Amino acid sequence: MAPREQLEIDPRRSRVFGEVAELYDATRPGYPEPLVREVLAYAALGRRAALEVGAGTGKATVPFAAAGTPLVCIEPDERMADVLRRNTASSPQVQVEVGPFEDWLPSESRSFGLLLAATSWHWLDPERRWDLVHGALAPGGAVALFWNLQGVRDAELHAALAEVDRRHGMANAPHGEPASSFGDVPGNGGAVPGSWPDAECRRDGRFTDLRAHRFRREHHWATDRYVGHLASLSHYRVLAAEQRERLLAGTARVLDAHGGGIAMEQISDLFLARTR
Ligand SMILES: C[S@@+](CC[C@H](N)C(=O)[O-])C[C@H]1O[C@@H](n2cnc3c(N)ncnc32)[C@H](O)[C@@H]1O
């Protein structure tokens, strides 16, 4: 698949998630267990804690916490942080701090064994993010950046959804790619366009042992859950409410006309590196 164009970051989009924090939590997919195991094996944390940036409602936090990982979670939106606190209430080793990563002042810098960013790296200031990561990690500390993406299994459904999106001006719907277009190479044809961190990390030069993994699973989304998931995405949130409602209703009609719901290949791409 040809690389997609660079994502134009609309700063409004990074802060819309809290408008629908509960919907986000109820509909967004989490991350697969093998990904969590891969990250923990790579980081070999020992007694050190992990720092999670843009933790949202805890889609990644919860499985890492369940594995016993001590975590400091940074999340700028108070409404997302409320749900995160609820979702991690049974894990006393999870600490939630509210604010953007760019303003975060660690009490002890260069101490974390792992920095995680799950579907959030692309929202961090591109001019400062590698400095901030480097400043937070202990020597040899790991960085794990990951994203979920999807491919539609049914070609006819894919075409019908593309037609609805064209009519309503939606350019980058998560059902925009057929499952057949995803190869085996992580970062190729996915994540958030233009955000795969490999080139930036190599240019930075302070990291080593770069690795990438792609995890696949199949998932059938019921219509309601899928449409709810769409409504939680930033590029749907920034549409005018009426336009969004028309687009979501049109999408739901197509899904229902094709037997209800949507079968997706769920892909999770993971990027790993460690400080020298
Ligand atoms: C797509 S959500 C991902 C949330 C969660 N990690 C997940 O995988 O579901 C992106 C999150 O990044 C947060 N975010 C946006 N800008 C940020 C920043 N500058 N620093 C830290 N987090 C940020 C948002 O508030 C939101 O919760």
Per residue in 107-129, pLDDT (tens digit) is 667 799 999 999 999 999 999 99
Angle between helices 155-168 and 241-257 (to 10 degrees): 160
DSSP 224-245: HHHHHHHHTSHHHHTS-HHHHH
Query: What is the C-alpha separation between 134 and 143, in angstroms, rounded?
Result: 9
Rg (CA), the chain: 18
What domains sit in the chain, N to C, each tagged with a CATH number? 11-150+185-218+267-275 (3.40.50.150)
End-to-end Cα distance, the chain: 33
14 lines ligand 1 (CB under 6 A): yes
pLDDT: is 136 or 19 the higher one?
Answer: 136
CA of 80 to the centre of ligand 1 (A): 9
Per residue in 59-80, pLDDT (tens digit) is 999 999 999 999 999 999 999 9
Per residue in 154-198, pLDDT (tens digit) is 999 999 999 999 999 998 899 999 999 888 889 866 546 667 999
CA of 40 to the centre of ligand 1 (A): 21
Query: What is the C-alpha separation between 273 and 140, in angstroms, rounded?
Result: 9
Cβ partners under 8 Å of residue 155, min gap 6: 178, 180
CA of 123 to the centre of ligand 1 (A): 7
Query: What is the C-alpha separation between 173 and 251, in angstroms, rounded?
Result: 11
Q: Coil, strand, or helix at residue 27?
A: helix
- Position 250 scores a pLDDT of 96
- pLDDT above 50 (res 4): no
Q: Residue written as tokens 């940036």?
A: 53
Query: pTM for the full model?
Result: 0.92
Cβ partners under 8 Å of residue 176, min gap 6: 162, 165
